[in-house]
Amino acid sequence: MGTFLIKRLLHMIPILLGVSLLTFLLMSLTPGGYLQSLKQNPQISPETVERLLAKFHLDKPWYVQYFYWLRNVATGDFGYSIQYKISATDLITARLWNTFVLSFFATVVAWCIAVPLGIWAAVNKDSLVDRACSFVAFAGLSIPEILLALLALMFAAATGWFPIGGAQGSLYDLMSPTEKFWNRAHHLVLPVLVLAASSLAGIMRQMRSNLLDTLRAEYVTAARAKGLPEGWVIYKHALRNAINPLLTIFGYSLAGLLSGAFIVENIMAWPGLGRLTIEAYTAKDSMLVVDSVVMATALLIAGNFVADILLAWSDPRIRLKE
C-alpha cells in the first residue's frame, strides 16, 4: 500500500510542472499587463513602472520569469499579487479554502443523494421509481450550470429565503461565533445545491448501470439459489462490487465540480479560487493567474489521489498489481 501511494504522489510532480509551464507560456502570449497599464497613468512616472517591472522580473523573458517563480514556490513563496497588493500565498490560501468547502459539501450532497437513488432505481428496474429517477438524471445532465445558477439567484431574489451571492452577510464581523457559523452555512446552501446538481445525475446513472450489471453476475444468481434474502444478496454481495467502478469516476466528478465551481463562483459571487482566477486574468495579474491555476490543478490531483486510495482500499487486486 505504501509503494502504491508513493507512486501516485510522484506522478503529481510532472503534472504540476507541465501545467505551470503551459500557463506561463499562455500568459506571456497575452498582450499587455497590469504594470503596463500603469504607464497610461500620468501620476506614475515611467521610472517607477520600470523599477516595478524589474522588481517582479517582468522585464525578462517568460521562461526566465518561470524559473524565478519555480525557485520561490519551492520555498513556499507564491509571490506577490500586484492587483491586491498582498502576499499571493495568503490570498490563495483563503480563496482555496472557500473553493474546497464549496466542492467538499457539493460532493457530499451529490454522492449521498445519487448513490441511494441509483440503488433504488436499479432494484426497482422499469418501475415508476426507475422512470422518475431517469427523468431527474436526464434533466440534470441537460441543464447547464450557468442556467441553474441564474435560476437559483432568481429564486433567492423572489423568495428572500437565501442570500443573493457572497459568502457572508454585511454584519458578519459583529456576529457571535455561532451566528457567524449559521450565516456562512446560509450563504453556502444555494451554491452547494447548484454545484451538486451538475454531478448528481451522472453518478446516479452510473450507480444504476453498475448495480444492474452486477445483479446479472453468476455469483449473485448462486447466492439467490442458496435461498439468501434478496436484501442480503443486494447489499452484501452485489453492492460492493457495483461501487468499485464508481470510485474510479470520483476524480472525474471532482474535475467536473471544480470546472463548475468556476462558473458558480463567478455568477453567485462566491469568493473562491475560480472567481480569483477570473479577476486576476481580467487585471492581467499574470503571476496570480499562474498560482491560481496551479492550486486548482493540485486540488484536482488531490481528488484523484483520494479516489486511488478508496479504490485500493475497496479492491485489494489494485494494490497487488502495483
126, burial (CB in 10 Å: exposed 0-12, middle 13-18, buried 19+): exposed
The answer to whether residue 43 sits within a structural domain is no
Residue 22 falls within a domain, yes or no? Answer: no
Helix (H), strand (E) counts: the chain: 15, 2
pLDDT in tens, 223-257: 777 777 777 777 777 777 777 777 667 666 666 66
Contacts of 179 (CB under 8 A, 6+ apart): none
- The verdict on residue 233 lying in a domain is yes
Whether residue 37 lies inside any domain: the answer is no
The answer to whether the pTM exceeds 0.85 is no
- 44 found inside a domain: no
Q: What is the pLDDT of residue 320?
A: 45
Domain interval for residue 269: 94-321
Asked whether residue 72 is assigned to any structural domain, the reply reads no
Question: How many CB atoms sit inside 10 A of residue 141's CB?
Answer: 16
Residue 299 within a domain: yes
User: Which residues of the chain have a pLDDT value below 70?
Assistant: 1-5, 32-46, 49, 52-53, 56, 59, 247-248, 250-260, 307, 310-322
| Domains identified in the chain, total number | 1
Kindly state whether residue 11 falls inside one of the protein's structural domains: no
C-beta atoms surrounding 81 within 10 Å: 22
Cα-Cα end-to-end distance for the chain:
9
The domain spanning residue 257 has which CATH number? 1.10.3720.10
> For 201, left (φ over 0), alpha (ψ -120 to 50), or beta?
alpha
* E strand or H helix that includes residue 271: none
